[in-house]
Structure 1
Amino acid sequence: MTDCLFCRIIAGELPSKQRHSSDLVIAIEDIAPQAPLHLLILPREHIGSAADLRDTPAHAALLARMHAVAAELANEAGYGDRGWRLVSNVGVEG
């Protein structure tokens, strides 16, 4: 068993409210939302931090998919024309 909370959620060891699931990413509802629509777009591959991403085709495809899923879910929720925010937290203070 891993200590990574998100890996445990992805593995189904911990409950979550999934809004999207694909080969590269899942999207879940945040358990303490700070906005009317607050989702976490998580890579299925364990990546400890956005600072660990590299300029590789695989990571470029992953980021593109994460952004596409965020846009799709925002549009489905009616935020497409109103605007929405996409945030990456990096490190302890991020």
Structure 2
Amino acid sequence: MTDSRSDCLFCKIVTGEVPAEVVREGERTLAFRDINPQAPTHVLIVPREHYPDVASAGAAGVGVVDEIAREAREVARAEGIAESGYRLVFNTGPGAGQTVFHVHGHLLGGRGLQWPPG
């Protein structure tokens, strides 16, 4: 696990060092397609600022989690899944499946999503 900004894949995507299929750019966020999609729509929404996980982003008290949720709504509208429904998932820690330690929301939709998820 790394939370070093210089080693962070998503920080490198935000700065353009690593290419990604960007679907939406906000002032504080970037949304791009997941390279291993788990649904017809699978977009990652990340803040431009580095936080290792959603818990640390929420604890910072700067509204970044709210911003990710707002951007998810806009991406869902653009992708045509806002009306049928979508899921926004945050994995926090290795035990939950987090593999990149830069907070990111997984926006999933375009198919039925069962519960419980995993």
Unaligned runs of 5+ in 2: 97-118
**CA shift for structure 1 position 18:** 0.5
Match of 2:8 in 1: 4
- Of structures 1 and 2, the one scoring higher in RCO (CA 8 A, sep 6+) is 2
For residue 36 of structure 1, the aligned residue among 12, 20, 40 is 40
Contact 2:22 2:32 in 1 (8 A): yes
TM-score under structure 2 length normalisation = 0.72
Contact 2:29 2:46 in 1 (8 A): yes
Aligned runs of 1:56-67 on 2, under 5 Å? 56=61, 58=62, 61-67=63-69
Q: CA RMSD in A?
A: 1.4
Higher-strand-fraction structure: 2
Match of 1:83 in 2: 85
Match of 2:52 in 1: 48
**CA shift for structure 1 position 50:** 1.3
| Matched position secondary structure for 1:42 | strand
Match of 1:69 in 2: 71
**CA shift for structure 1 position 51:** 2.2
Deviations 1:46-71 (A, max 9, x none): 00111212162x1xx21121111101
4+ residue runs over 3 A deviation: none
Unaligned runs of 5+ in 1: none
Match of 2:17 in 1: 13
* Mapped partners of 1:78, 1:12: distance in 2: 27
* Mapped partners of 2:27, 2:78: distance in 1: 20
* Mapped partners of 2:56, 2:64: distance in 1: 13
